[in-house]
Amino acid sequence: MATRSRRVEIDRVEVEKSCRKETKNMSVNRYNNIVTISPEASIGDAIATLINTSSFVLQVAGEGDKPAGWLDYLDILKIFQGDPDAAPIRSRKVKDYIHMIGNEDYLEVEQELAGIKTWLQDRAKKLPYFISQDKQSSGVLSLEGLLAEALEKHTQEQERRLEIEDLFGIVIAEAPVGLAFISPAGDIKYLNPLAAHILEITRLNASDLINIAVKNETKIIRTNGRSYKVWGIKSGKEKAPGYLAIFVDITNEQDLFEKVKHAQLEAELALATLLPDQRVEARLRSIVEYMDEYDAGTGKIKVTGVIREGVYRHVINILRLVAELSKQGLTELPGVDKETVVKAAIFHDLAKVQPYLQPGDVVDPRESFEPGYLHAFRSASLAKGIYNIDDKTVSIIKYHHHEEHDLPEDYPLYLLPMYRLFRLLDGLSAGITRRGSRVKLTASGTLVHVREESSFPLYNRHFELDLYSGRTGIKPLL
């Protein structure tokens, strides 16, 4: 917190300097030069000078360049008021000399100061007499009152600015993100506590941070058992040139990534032990999957990416889901055989054929991709004919793209729990493989509780499936 306090104090000093600089720059606009007349000039000369210069005050010359004093229009009026010879002038009627109210006289005096300032500027050197449009209020603007109001507003704005800077200082100091600002000359102008800590333990310097920003790089730095992501941006503001370096502690994310990577490796090793020969692995790795965006208006998809070894990854993801449910005891249920589900996962897409597409291609999936049941039938035939897979597994593979109401009448009822489970896992794995979905499965008896969160909200799901009855219950996404 000491760092933050020091930063705030620096900010206050800067604000005060700014105010003094602002005051200096404004001094030429704070007054208008007035006309100087000789002390030997007549009252008539003084009146003529006031009229010709639209002034209210005259400066009287003294010795050298220094003025001797001043007089204003009230002084001259007092002369006329006290002079008996001016009686004829004093007896004249006001109505012969009044200024009739014009559009330039109208002012809503309760408006913001900016509007009043514009009104005064438009009146130039005329007296600041005003009258409201409804003629309910009129008078002469009080420059003292306006100045006091302006000063009060300025003070309030300054206090508000300092409050915001204090709050900003607290947020930056306590934020879980490291921030460092470096000048073009390589001087570190600001460090919040996390950035200072990271620089200390990583031995990064200002030159390193500038290079990261200039090259638009992102670096992962590991030290003392922690992982930090560092990147930088160049400030485009003339008043604050330099470079901003940003540090984020990604230790938890890196640990999770390593765990997922390790789990993926374990799954691949497990799969390798289950494959009957290398030809199956080579075939699975050779089949791509596609990432795409669906246009509901046209029914077409736009290919956004090609997933190499897509089907192989898809099989791995199914096996991971099977392992997760197996740990929860689901494969102990009668009618749910882990070995059968695993074999179905390995062989179910073995004969899948994909079109050749590139990112950016827009196609109708009904025309470009063959119906799923075709590769299901082919895969089941290969599994049976070449690898002598048992009839239970072949049946699940053959009909894994059939809706339950489309199954043949002689489909074995005892296979329905595994059929339902495999279709569920096949769909969830597709989301993981093609859309990066996050899936959480919870088994409770014959119920499988599913929550799928996708980067495409359209595919978000929350439901539970009863493997025995086939009943599905939709749950709120919250």
pLDDT at 163: 77
Give yes or no on whether 32-98 and 176-249 have one common fold: no
pLDDT at 27: 44
pLDDT at 227: 84
Cβ atoms of residues 376 and 353 within 8 Å? no
Q: In tens digits, what is the pLDDT along the chain, a chain of 478 residues?
A: 444 434 434 444 444 444 445 444 544 466 777 888 888 998 889 889 888 887 888 888 888 778 889 888 888 888 888 888 888 888 888 787 777 777 887 878 788 888 878 877 777 666 676 777 777 777 777 777 777 877 888 888 888 887 776 676 666 666 668 888 888 888 888 888 888 888 888 878 888 888 888 888 888 888 777 888 888 888 766 666 888 888 888 887 777 777 767 766 766 666 666 677 788 989 999 999 999 988 888 999 999 999 999 999 999 899 989 989 999 999 999 999 999 999 999 999 999 999 999 999 999 999 999 999 999 999 999 999 999 999 999 999 999 999 999 999 999 999 999 999 999 999 999 999 998 889 999 999 999 999 999 877 878 899 999 999 999 999 887 7
The CATH number of the structural domain formed by 176-249 is 3.30.450.20
Give the whole-angstrom CA distance, residue 366 versus residue 351.
19
The full set of domain ranges for the chain reads: 32-98, 176-249, 256-474
> What does the block give as tokens for 87?
């009686």
Cβ atoms of residues 338 and 329 within 8 Å? no
pLDDT at 2: 42
Give the whole-angstrom CA distance, residue 455 versus residue 58.
77
Domain 32-98, CATH number (from 3.20.20.190, 3.30.1330.10, 3.90.1150.10, 3.10.580.10): 3.10.580.10
Report the 10 Å Cβ neighbour count for 241.
Answer: 12
**Checking phi first, is residue 135 left (phi over 0); if not, alpha (psi -120 to 50) or beta?**
left
Q: What angle do CA 148, 151, 154 make, to 5 degrees?
A: 150
Residue type, 253: E
Report the 10 Å Cβ neighbour count for 130.
Answer: 21
pLDDT at 272: 64
Cβ atoms of residues 184 and 14 within 8 Å? no
pLDDT at 410: 94
Give the whole-angstrom CA distance, residue 437 versus residue 460.
9
